[in-house]
Amino acid sequence: MVCQALLRKRLYAELADTKLTTGQPKVLEFLDGREGCQQKDIAQACLIEPATVTSLLLHMEQAYLIERRVENGNRRSLFVYLTDKGRRMAARSKEGVQRVINRAFTGLEDRQEEAAADLRQMYENLKEQTKR
C-alpha cells in the first residue's frame, strides 16, 4: 500500500503542470483508443464507482478534455469522446506515467518484464476474487 501511495504521489507531482485531478489520468488513458464508450464502461474498466465517474466526467467536460454525445437517437445513453485537448493531455499523462514507472524500476531493469508480468498476475488474481 505504501508503494501505491508513493506511485500516486510521484505521478501527480510529475503531472502537476497539467492540473489533472485524481482519477483523470486513468480515465484519459482508458479513453485513448476507446472513444465512444459509455460511462458504465469507464467505471467498470477503471474500477471507479459510477457516481464518481459522473463527477469526473463533468469536471473533464468543463476543462474541455472530453465531450459527451448522444448517438443513434438514444438520449438515455451518452457516449464519451476525447477532445483535441483531451488527446494531448492523455499523451502527456502517458509520458508522465512512463517516467514514474521508469524511476520505480531503477535498479530492476533486468527484471522489469518479469516484475510487470508478476503485477499483471496479481491483478488477475485479485480481480477474480472480487468477482466472487
Write the pLDDT tens digit of every residue in 75-110.
Answer: 777 899 999 999 999 999 999 999 999 999 899 889
At residue 82, the 3 state secondary structure works out as: strand
pLDDT greater than 80 at residue 132: no
Q: Are 29 and 91 in contact (CB under 8 A)?
A: no
The predicted pLDDT at position 78 comes to 86
pLDDT at 130 exceeding the cut of 90: no
User: Which pLDDT value is given to residue 126?
Assistant: 87
**Beta carbons within 10 angstroms of residue 117's beta carbon:** 10
State which amino acid sits at residue 95. Answer: E
